Amino acid sequence: MAIDYKKLLASEQRDLPFSYRDQDTLLYALAVGLGKDPLHQKELDYVYEGKSQKTVPTLASILTPGGFLQDCGWDYSKVLHGGQQLQLHRPLPPASDLLLNRRVVAAYDKGERKGAIICTETEARLAKDDTAMFTLASTIVARGDGGFGGSTDLPPKPYKLPERSPDMVCDLVTAKNQALLYRLCGDRNPLHADPVFARKVGFSVPILHGLCTYGIACHAILKTICDYDHTLISGFDVRFTAPVIPGDVITTEMWQDSNVVSFKCMVKARGVTVLNNGRCTIAV
C-alpha cells in the first residue's frame, strides 16, 4: 500500500486525552541519566518527589500516545526519526491530564527510491482549563516511500551552528542497560532490546533510542548552563544523525549567544555526530 498524499495531509486527531503521573516523570529523568549519584541534591530533585520535584523539559517528547500515521501506507520498517522540535509554553508539572491536537503539517516527496520527509505537529494543553503547555514537532524520514505525488519543495534548512570553537563541553556516560530502562518510557521497539532483532536490521547490538539521546542532550545543558533549573528551557530542537550504542560517552558541545544555546552531540570514540544542528532557547 502506497502513501495517499491527500489522506496523509488530512491526518488529524483532536482533543486526544493523555495522562502522565509523577512516576512517569521520575522514570524519564532516570532514563536520561539523572540521579546516578543519589547524593547529588540538584539531580535528586528530578528523581525523587520528596522535596520539590522537577521535570526534565524534554519529557514532553514522550507525552503523546503511539499509533499516529500507522495506517498511512508507508513502509514502517524503513521509517526513521529525522528531527525533533519542542516549544514549551510553561514548565511541565510533575503530573497532569492533557488534551492533544495532532496533525500532519507537510510531506515532501524526494522521488521514487529516494524517500519522503513527513512533518507532524502536536499541541498539548491542560485538560482542566485549556492552558497551552507545549508544541512538539517531529520530522520523519520514510526511506521507502518516495514517488507518491507529494510536494517536491525542499524542506527547511537545518539550523546552522556557530563556526567558532565551543564555549562549553559536557561528557555524559551512557549505561549499558540504558536502552532497557528508557524503553519503559513507552517505546518498546525490539531494536532497543533484542540482540537478534538488532543484528537482523544491521546493528551489532541494540541501539539507544534517538529520543533518549535527545533527553541526554537536555540533561547536559541543564547541568552545564542552567544549574539544573528546568524552568529556564523554553525550546529544544535537534536533528538526529547517528545512533548511540549503550555504553557510549556522549560529548555535548555548546555555544551560548544571549538566550540561545547551540549544540551538537558526538561519540568521539567512534568518530560520529549523533545529534546535530541543536538549538536550545533559554527563557528570559
Q: Annotated active-site positions, please?
A: 187, 192
The cell numbers describing 101, all together, are 491536537
The Cα–Cα gap between 108 and 5 comes to: 10
CA angle 153, 105, 239 (to 5 degrees): 75
The Cα–Cα gap between 18 and 25 comes to: 14
Cell 492552558 appears where? 131
Q: Are 213 and 284 in contact (CB under 8 A)?
A: no
The Cα–Cα gap between 277 and 279 comes to: 7
Closest CA to 253 of 266, 238, 270, 240: 266
Q: Are 199 and 232 in contact (CB under 8 A)?
A: no
C-alpha distance from residue 34 to each of 28, 69, 72, 222, 224 (Å): 9, 32, 37, 10, 13
The Cα–Cα gap between 111 and 152 comes to: 8
Side chain identity, residue 91 = P
Cell 561528557 appears where? 171
